C-alpha cells in the first residue's frame, strides 16, 4: 500500500448509479489500484430533500456488481455534522463567513438588475456589514438565513492532471453560500472538510465540477488546509456529441444490468471512456490489464463518446467467454421462472446460444422454442425448390431412423445416424426441414444440437407435428 495516495468517490444518493458516476468511480479505482493507494467511498447526503437511502443502496450495490470495490467507507456526510460545525465556527471566528438574510425574491431582483446592466450576476455582499450581534438577534427572532463565505477577489490557478494549468478569477463568484446553518453544510464546504479530514491526495471527478474547484481551493486556504491534486474527467457524450441524457439514453447502471449487459463488459467499456492504453492494440482488456495500463495523464480533455455499438460488441465477446454454467446464473433473472427449474437444460441451451447474443435479454426469444414450440408457417419447412412431398418423405425417414434408435442420445450420435441419408437426398434437403421441424425458426442452432437437448420423445413429437402440418397444407 502506498499510504500517501488516497482517492475518493463521492456520490450523492439522489438517483440510481449513473454511468458518469460509475466512470468516475472506476477511474479512481484504477488509479488507486495501479499505484497501491486507498480508495475511499463517501456518500454526500447533505441534500436532505433529494437524498434517499434506497439510492444509496442502489449505488453501493451496483458499484459492487461492476467490480468497483472500495477500501474505506462508505462514510456518510449526514453522520459527520459535528465536524463541519467545528470548521464553520472556525470560519466565523476568523471572520471569513457571515450570515446572510437576503430573501430569494430580493436576490432574484438583484440578479435581473445586474443582467440588464450587462454584468455577470453575483451576490452583492450586502449582508457582509451586518454585525454578529445583529445577526444573532435576527436568528433568535426566527429570521431565515444562510452562511456565506467571503470569497477573496483573486486569481486561482491549479494544475489539473488532465488539463494542465487552469485559471479562474474568483471575483466572478461573489460570496458563495456554504451552509444553510451550522448543522446543514452545503456541497462545496462539506467536500473541502472531508477531502482534508480523509487525507485525500487526488481528487478525480467529472468535468462538471471544474468551476467548483477554485471555490474549494479558496475555502482550503481560509481553513489552512493543503490542496489535493485535481483531475477533471471529460464529459460523456452520445454519438451526436450531446451530453448523455436520460431522455435519449439509458444512463443508470441498473438499466444496463436489466437489459443484459455483463458486469465485466461494462467494466471494460466504462474503463475506456476517455483514454486509450498505449501498450495494447486491443480494447478488450480484463480488470487486471486495465489496472496495469491505466495512466491518468493519457486521459483526453475532449468529451468521451459513448458508443453503444462498441458496448454491444464487447458484451457479445464477454458472453461468449463465460462458461455455460456461469451464463445460466446470469440468465436466471431474464428467463421465465419456470425455465429456471430446468437448470441442466438451461445450461445446455446457454452453451448453444451464447454465440448469438449481444445482450442477455435476447436469450428468452432465442431459447423459447426449446420450452414452448410456437406456431410456424409450414412453408418454412421447405428447402429451396423442394416439393412438400419430398420434404415430408425426408422427414418421415428421419423419424423412422430416430424412432428405432435406442443408443445414447447425443448430437454426435444423431449426426452419424442421419448423415448417411443426406448423401442420397442432399444435405439441405434433409437438415433444413429437420431443423425447422424441431425449432419452428428460420434461424437457430443446428438440428442435432437441438434434438440432443429436446430428447428423443420431444424431437419425435415435433417431427410428427411438422408432418401433420405438411399434410394439412395440401
Of 10-18, 49-57, 60-68, 380-388: span binding ligand GLU (CB under 6 A): 10-18
DSSP character at residue 103: -
- In angstroms, give the least distance from the CB of 178 to ligand GLU: 14
205 is a contact residue toward ligand GLU (CB under 6 A): yes
Q: How many residues bind ligand GLU (CB under 6 A)?
A: 7
Count CB-CB contacts under 10 A for residue 13. Answer: 24
Q: Would you give the binding string for ligand GLU spanning residues 163-202, x where CB under 6 A is met?
A: ----------------------------x-----------
CB 231 within 8 A of CB 204: yes
- The correct pick among 6, 148, 202, 209 for binding ligand GLU (CB under 6 A) is 209
3-state secondary structure (DSSP) of residue 272: coil
Q: Which is nearer to ligand GLU, 16 or 390 (CB)?
A: 16
Please state, in angstroms and rounded to a whole number, the distance separating the CA atoms of residues 349 and 339: 11
Nearer to ligand GLU, 187 or 432 (CB): 187
What SS3 string covers 193-249?
HHHHHCCCCEEEEEHHHCCHHHHHHHHHHHHCCCCCEEEEECCEECCCCCECCCCCC
d(CA 114, CA 313) in angstroms, rounded, equals: 52
Which of 243, 246, 310, 320 is the catalytic position? 246
Least distance to ligand GLU from the beta carbon of 152, Å?
21
- Among 17, 40, 44, 462, interactor with ligand GLU by CB under 6 A: 44
CA dihedral 184, 189, 192, 198 (to 10 degrees): 0
Q: Which is nearer to ligand GLU, 233 or 451 (CB)?
A: 233
- Residue 18 in contact with ligand GLU, rule: CB under 6 A: no
Q: Which stretch binds ligand GLU (CB under 6 A): 8-16, 341-349, 377-385, 462-470?
A: 8-16
Does 246 participate in catalysis according to the annotation?
Answer: yes
Q: How far apart are CA 93 and CA 279, in angstroms?
A: 54
CB of 452 to ligand GLU, least distance (A): 52
Report CA-CA distances (Å) from 85 to 57, 132, 178, 312: 27, 17, 12, 48
Is 151 one of the binding residues for ligand GLU (CB under 6 A)? no
Question: Nearest distance from residue 308's CB to ligand GLU, in Å?
Answer: 24
Distances (CA, A) of 221 to 94, 165, 224, 226, 253: 12, 19, 5, 8, 37
CB 44 within 8 A of CB 38: no
Sites for ligand GLU among residues 435-464 (CB under 6 A): none
Binding residues for ligand GLU restricted to 380-419, rule: CB under 6 A: none
Asked if the bond preceding 306 is cis, omega within 30° of 0, the reply is no
Reported as type and span, the H/E element at residue 368 is helix 363-371
Nearer to ligand GLU, 13 or 440 (CB): 13
One residue of 5, 6, 7, 12 binding ligand GLU per CB under 6 A: 12
Q: Catalytic residues, which ones?
A: 246
Interface residue list for ligand GLU (CB under 6 A): 10-12, 44, 191, 205, 209
Amino acid at each position: 500500500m502506498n499510504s500517501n495516495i488516497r482517492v475518493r468517490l463521492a456520490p450523492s444518493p439522489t438517483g440510481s448509479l449513473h454511468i458518469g458516476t460509475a466512470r468516475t468511480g472506476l477511474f479512481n479505482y484504477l488509479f488507486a489500484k495501479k499505484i497501491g493507494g486507498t480508495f475511499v467511498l463517501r456518500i454526500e447526503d447533505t441534500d436532505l430533500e433529494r437524498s434517499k437511502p434506497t439510492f444509496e443502496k442502489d449505488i453501493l450495490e451496483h458499484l459492487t456488481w461492476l467490480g468497483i470495490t472500495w477500501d474505506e467507507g462508505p462514510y456518510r456526510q449526514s453522520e459527520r455534522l459535528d465536524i463541519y460545525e467545528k470548521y464553520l465556527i472556525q470560519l466565523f471566528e476568523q471572520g471569513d463567513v457571515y450570515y446572510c438574510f437576503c430573501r430569494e425574491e430580493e436576490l432574484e431582483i438583484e440578479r435581473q438588475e445586474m443582467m440588464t446592466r450587462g454584468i455577470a450576476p453575483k451576490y452583492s455582499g450586502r449582508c457582509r456589514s451586518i454585525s454578529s450581534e445583529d445577526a444573532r438577534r435576527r436568528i433568535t427572532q426566527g429570521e431565515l438565513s444562510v452562511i456565506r463565505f467571503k470569497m477573496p477577489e483573486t486569481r486561482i490557478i491549479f494544475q489539473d492532471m488532465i488539463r494542465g494549468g487552469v485559471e479562474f478569477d474568483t471575483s466572478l463568484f461573489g460570496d458563495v453560500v456554504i451552509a444553510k446553518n451550522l448543522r446543514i453544510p452545503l456541497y462545496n464546504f462539506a467536500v473541502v472538510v472531508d477531502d482534508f479530514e480523509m487525507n485525500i491526495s487526488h481528487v478525480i471527478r467529472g468535468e462538471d465540477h471544474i468551476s467548483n474547484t477554485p471555490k474549494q481551493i479558496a475555502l482550503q486556504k481560509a481553513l489552512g488546509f493543503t490542496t489535493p491534486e485535481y483531475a477533471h474527467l471529460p464529459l460523456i457524450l452520445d454519438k451526436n456529441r450531446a451530453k448523455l441524457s436520460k431522455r435519449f439514453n439509458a444512463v443508470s447502471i441498473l438499466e444496463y444490468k436489466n437489459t443484459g449487459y455483463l458486469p465485466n463488459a461494462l467494466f471494460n467499456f466504462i474503463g475506456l471512456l476517455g483514454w486509450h492504453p498505449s501498450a495494447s492494440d486491443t480494447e478488450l482488456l480484463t480488470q487486471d490489464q486495465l489496472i496495469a495500463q491505466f495512466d491518468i495523464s493519457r486521459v483526453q480533455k475532449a468529451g468521451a463518446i459513448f458508443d453503444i455499438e462498441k458496448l454491444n460488441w464487447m458484451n457479445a465477446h464477454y458472453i461468449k467467454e463465460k462458461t455455460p454454467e456461469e451464463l445460466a446464473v446470469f440468465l436466471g433473472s431474464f428467463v421465465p421462472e419456470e425455465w429456471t427449474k430446468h437448470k441442466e437444460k438451461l445450461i445446455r441451451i446457454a452453451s448453444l446460444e451464447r454465440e448469438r447474443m449481444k445482450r442477455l435479454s435476447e436469450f428468452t426469444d432465442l431459447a423459447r422454442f426449446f420450452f414452448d414450440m410456437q406456431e410456424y408457417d409450414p412453408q418454412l419447412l421447405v428447402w429451396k425448390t423442394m416439393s412438400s412431398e419430398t420434404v415430408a418423405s425426408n422427414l418421415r425417414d428421419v423419424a423412422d431412423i430416430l424412432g428405432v434408435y435406442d443408443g445414447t442420445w447425443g448430437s454426435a450420435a444423431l449426426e452419424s445416424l442421419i448423415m448417411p441419408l443426406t448423401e442420397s437426398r442432399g444435405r439441405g434437403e434433409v437438415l433444413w426441414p429437420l431443423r425447422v421441424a424441431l425449432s419452428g425458426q428460420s434461424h437457430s442452432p443446428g438440428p442435432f444440437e437441438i434434438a440432443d437437448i429436446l430428447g428423443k420423445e420431444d424431437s419425435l413429437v415435433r417431427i410428427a407435428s411438422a408432418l401433420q402440418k405438411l399434410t394439412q397444407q395440401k
